Amino acid sequence: MGNAQVSTPFFTEDHNAFRAVLRDFVQKEITPHAHEWDEAGEFPRELYKKAGALELFGDGFSAEYGGHGQRDALMRMVIMEELSRSGSGGVVAGMLSNYIGLPMVEKYGTDAIKAQVLPPCMAGEHIAALAITEPGGGSDVARLTTKAVRDGDHYVVNGSKTFITSGMRADWFTTAVRTGGDGPSGISMLVIPGDVDGLSRTKLDKMGWLASDTATLYFDDARVPVGNLLGEENAGFNYIVNNFNPERIDLATQSVTFARVCYEEALAWARERHTFGKRLADHQVIRHKLVEMDRRINACTAWLELLSWRLNQGDDPVVEISEAKVDATLTFEFCAREAAQILGGASYLRGSVVERLYREVRVQAIGGGSEEIMRDLASRQLGF
């Protein structure tokens, strides 16, 4: 299990075949350009179409709309692992915003809205994003203030969203709005077109994930058809909560794979670098660092494989997924630090994979629910 290429009993021939296709795609289309795209602050939109041709976006979406069909958590793990081996969190985040923006469309959208939104997103021709977080609320979703007021056959939307991944590029926003009173019971979900009148966007400058665009959205009397409502009015809070679990295990898988990339970079350096008359890897303190990195990565990977298998069996391990996300992000943080120590000054230079990933530790630990929120969620589920 020390290398992502090694198959385990959880994965089928189909999983392994798709892994091989994705690995080749990443090695040819993403990894060689990761630093260039980071410096540019974006990656080519054409990459979505290339990924769509591989059916990269199809897990969990109906075959009639271009998806794979039923969700396969192990296949999703393969997708997250292989894209993350590029060592670019920005590319991974931007490429995979469909997987947080579209599940509620698939599950709660009308046939008409699904037919309009899903096929172009599956093909990589359109991009979807999830718009929940607001400047004044952060993770406290129940406090959101963006309002959608019914006016005939439209909702009129006013408010703002922030930290929206793919916010500058997205063609569709799955958006949390307040259609009722205060608290969680007044929240609904709307699919808002990116070209709607009254929507403006501002790009945010970030510490990491530089190749992905992140934006604040402003809605000023944006008129959205009533048919774009997902599910029932004022039932959106539960939809949001149910959408978080898949996002969290995705982020956990990305984090542990980034940790593996840091480990591999450090191992290669330690084998080649000579200090005090011998290889860096021949110093006991360095060998112990590498073993500890490998140990933590393997333990976390095994847990995530088991949780993915359990999801495929119909289980809903909310507590364990919350705990595993914390474990994965702490593993990533540890490995990024240790890799930087092993590479020394080389890790502090722009263009180094370790330098890039070190800057992306914090967003992995905060996005989808911070370590503190994950621990609190787990404690409440356990009845503390």
Query: How do residues 48-79 score in pLDDT, each as one tens digit?
Result: 999 999 999 999 999 999 999 889 999 999 99
pLDDT of residue 383: 81
pLDDT of residue 136: 78
Q: Indicate if the pLDDT at residue 209 is higher than 80.
A: yes
Residues 230-242 have pLDDT tens digits of 999 999 998 988 8
pLDDT of residue 296: 97
* Residue 104 near residue 74, CB atoms below 8 Å: no
Sign of the CA dihedral running 249, 313, 82, 95: negative
Q: Indicate if the pLDDT at residue 87 is higher than 90.
A: yes
CA dihedral (52, 53, 56, 57) in degrees, to 10, reads: 30
pLDDT of residue 384: 78
Name, in order, each residue with C-beta under 8 angstroms of 194's C-beta and a sequence gap of 6 or more: 170, 171, 172, 173
- For residue 15, give the amino acid letter: H
Q: State how beta strands 154-165 and 214-225 pair.
A: antiparallel
Q: State the residue for tokens 């914090």.
A: 362
Q: Indicate if the pLDDT at residue 6 is higher than 60.
A: no
Name, in order, each residue with C-beta under 8 angstroms of 182's C-beta and a sequence gap of 6 or more: none
Given pLDDT bands bounded at 50, 70 and 90, which one contains residue 139? low
pLDDT of residue 1: 39
- Cβ neighbourhood burial of 152 (10 Å; 0-12, 13-18, 19+): exposed
Given pLDDT bands bounded at 50, 70 and 90, which one contains residue 108? very high
* Residue 353 near residue 339, CB atoms below 8 Å: no
pLDDT of residue 192: 98
Residues 281-329 have pLDDT tens digits of 899 999 999 999 999 999 999 999 999 999 999 998 999 999 999 999 9
Q: Which positions are annotated as active-site residues? A: 247
Structural domains of the chain, ranges and CATH numbers in brackets: 13-122 (1.10.540.10), 128-234 (2.40.110.10), 238-381 (1.20.140.10)
**pTM (2 d.p.):** 0.92
Coil, helix or strand at residue 277: coil
Q: Indicate if the pLDDT at residue 2 is higher than 60.
A: no
Q: State the residue for tokens 């080389």.
A: 346
Given pLDDT bands bounded at 50, 70 and 90, which one contains residue 224? very high
Read off the pLDDT of each residue in 335-359 and give the average, rounded to a whole number: 94
Give the rounded percent of residues in the chain with a pLDDT score beyond 90: 81
- For residue 374, give the amino acid letter: M
Read off the pLDDT of each residue in 123-150 and give the average, rounded to a whole number: 89
Closest CA to 102 of 146, 73, 67, 134: 67
**Alpha-carbon span 253 to 324, nearest angstrom:** 9
Average pLDDT across the chain, whole number: 93
**Alpha-carbon span 7 to 77, nearest angstrom:** 13
Q: Indicate if the pLDDT at residue 8 is higher than 90.
A: no
Tokens of residue 126, six digits: 């359109």
Read off the pLDDT of each residue in 145-172 and give the average, rounded to a whole number: 95
User: Which stretches of 2-110 are DSSP H helices?
Assistant: 13-29, 34-40, 46-53, 73-84, 89-95, 98-101, 103-108
Dump the DSSP string for 31-56: GGGHHHHHHHT---THHHHHHHHTTT
Name, in order, each residue with C-beta under 8 angstroms of 252's C-beta and a sequence gap of 6 or more: 300, 304, 321, 324, 325, 327, 328, 329
pLDDT of residue 9: 81
Residue of higher predicted confidence among 3 and 86: 86
